[in-house]
Amino acid sequence: MATRPAFPLIRDIAALQDGAFDLLVIGGGIYGSWTACDAAQRGLKVALIERNDWGSGTSQSSSKLIHGGLRYLEHYEFALVRHALAERRVLSRLAPHLVRPLNFVVPVWKGARVGRMQLLAGLTLYDFLATGKQPVPRFKSFSRKKLLAAHPYLDEAGLKGGLRYGDCQEDDARMTLFVVAAAQAAGAVCANAVAADELLFDGERCVGAKLRDTETGAAFELRAACVVNAAGPWAHRLPGIEPPAVKLVKGVHLVLPAIPGLEDAFLLTAPSDGRVFFVIPWNGRTLVGTTESSVLDASGVGVDDTETQYLLDAVNALMPGLGWTPAQVIGRFAGVRSLQAEDAESLAAVSREFTVLSPRPGLVWPLGGKYTTARCDAVEIVDRVYDSLGLPAVESRTDQAVLPGAPHEVRELGDFTGWQTEAVAGLARRGFDAETARSLSLRHGTGITRVEALIDENPAWARRIHPDAPYLQAEVVLAVRDEMARTVDDVVRRRMPLSLVVPAGDWRAEVSALMTAAA
């Protein structure tokens, strides 16, 4: 297939209607995106479609982490943790603008469900499983005195000390977008706002799907030698096939004000029931979550007042100096994952292990997994596609090719800091404040040149959309022209997290007007 640049993303409906494909991928979350990217890089003719927007389902609602999953050690999922830690290293190299090191503090109180010695053993194993050069330091212990000096809002009663370990933070929605861009650059035809209404079969074999452009209502059939149903918790809705048994698990997060001076995250255990949750510095705010619950359907999930109060109570019990109230909650979001159905004593014990099913010839159905391991899980998906096509598998290259926006001069873990320093300095010379410059460098990488070109076109676009967030009017224009944004939420929820970090207001109308002008 003829290749295109990574950006601008081209929503080419005509190309979807033009001839047969080797592979149709249904679902533009992180799993579908990596699958399309991998298959296209191997040389298959690939179509990738998404009913709504790239990453608009589960992939926009994670804890924004690339991590090994320290808590999975408690359930003896050593292979999963080793797998995820290896992928943390790979993604830090492929996308250093989107995946950044973040330290986690684990305070230890007297009588805790997981004691200090158990944590020491767990973190020793965690570092041991992280083979090769890693983007984060090894774990370190802290005394009670040092911990309270750095974090005076912690509960002093029974505090014995703490430990610190490293993992990574990421931008989940933009990572998905950049993987879609990499798929397009490898030759895939990618289109959002295209729904798969029904699978097509020739006898027992799946041979494509009936598609519909949700913007125009135009319906058409796309023929493909193989179909991957990567629609996650919505995968079972496709008529024509009996879906596998799954467990749908909802995870919720709150966005709260920044904790002054905090650069490290916290891994904490709720005193009421022993569930693990995070307190994470994020985009000038604080991200708190997750708490999990089973749901029957993924549609319209949200965060209710009971779940909000649960997380606030857990934080305030361990960090009473913060004294957070429901009135201080800036944003709330929930996401649903589809996991393998199994009997487990708690949701935390339900395995995140990944599997690939083939319920009918020509149909591949991934199930389970986690955001961190989506790239390498996609390798297994595409290997299964080759098996379905009756072809010898071509070796995957997604562990080698950096994602769009990654500086090509970054060859080793940690090199990105030098590039970022120069980029931020250049943006400062153009008059941008430090917060805005850093935000642009992390979310766009080398794509900041596209933002600068738009500001040269119209200097008024250098203004912030909202004074309390470092996102520019030029980025709205860029989202429409280059990043396939179709709606206001595409822009302010996924191309930038504006709707999560500032209250709703008149700025939405401003974004809508900018989108109209940019089109």
SS (H, E, C) 362-414: CEEEEEECCHHHHHHHHHHHHHHHHHHHCCCCCCCCCCCCCCCCCCCCCCCCC
Instruction: Of 89, 167, 65, give the one whose Cα is nearest residue 126.
Output: 167
358 lies in a domain? Answer: yes
Does 479 lie in the same domain as 449? yes
What pLDDT was estimated at residue 344?
47
Instruction: Of 355, 135, 342, 153, give the one whose Cα is nearest residue 245.
Output: 342
Sequence letter at residue 75: H
Show the tokens assigned to 391. 């072809």
Domain encompassing residue 327: 71-171+247-349
DSSP-assigned states of every residue in 65-130: EE---GGGGGGT-HHHHHHHHHHHHHHHHH-TTTEEEEEEEEEEETT-SS-HHHHHHHHHHHHHHS
Does 209 lie in the same domain as 124? no
Q: Is the pLDDT confidence value at 342 over 70?
A: no
What are the tens digits of pLDDT across the range 362-402? 999 999 999 999 999 999 999 999 999 999 989 999 999 89
Beta pairing partners, 48: 25, 190
Are 60 and 182 in contact by the 8 Å Cβ rule? The answer is no
281 lies in a domain? Answer: yes
What pLDDT was estimated at residue 244?
85
Q: With cut-offs at 50, 70 and 90, classify the pLDDT of residue 349.
A: very low
Does 191 lie in the same domain as 153? no
- Kindly give the pairing relationship between strand 21-26 and strand 46-50: parallel
What are the angstrom distances between the C-alpha of 490 and each of 192, 415, 487? 11, 31, 5
Are 334 and 251 in contact by the 8 Å Cβ rule? The answer is yes
Q: Which of 195-199, 294-298, 342-346 has the lowest mean pLDDT?
A: 342-346
Beta pairing partners, 49: 26, 191
Does 162 lie in the same domain as 182? no
- In whole angstroms, give the CA distance from residue 282 to residue 142: 24
- Kindly give the pairing relationship between strand 265-269 and strand 354-360: unpaired
Does 336 lie in the same domain as 360? no
Say what percent of the chain tops pLDDT 90. 85
Show the tokens assigned to 471. 């996102």
3 lies in a domain? Answer: no
Sequence letter at residue 273: D
Does 506 lie in the same domain as 487? yes
**Residue 509 host element (H or E):** helix 507-518
Residue with tokens 């509960």: 155
Does 163 lie in the same domain as 220? no
Bigger pLDDT: 351 or 113? 113
Q: Is the pLDDT confidence value at 506 over 80?
A: yes
373 lies in a domain? Answer: yes
CATH number at residue 37: 3.50.50.60
166: three-class secondary structure by DSSP: strand
Q: Please tell me the total count of domains within the chain.
A: 3
Does 97 lie in the same domain as 20? no
Asked whether the whole model's pTM tops 0.75, one would answer yes
Does 19 lie in the same domain as 137? no
505 lies in a domain? Answer: yes
Show the tokens assigned to 476. 């709205």
CATH number at residue 110: 3.30.9.10
| 434-444 and 416-429 helices, crossing angle to 10° | 130
What are the tens digits of pLDDT across the range 227-269? 999 999 999 888 777 888 889 999 999 999 999 999 999 999 9
Does 365 lie in the same domain as 447? no
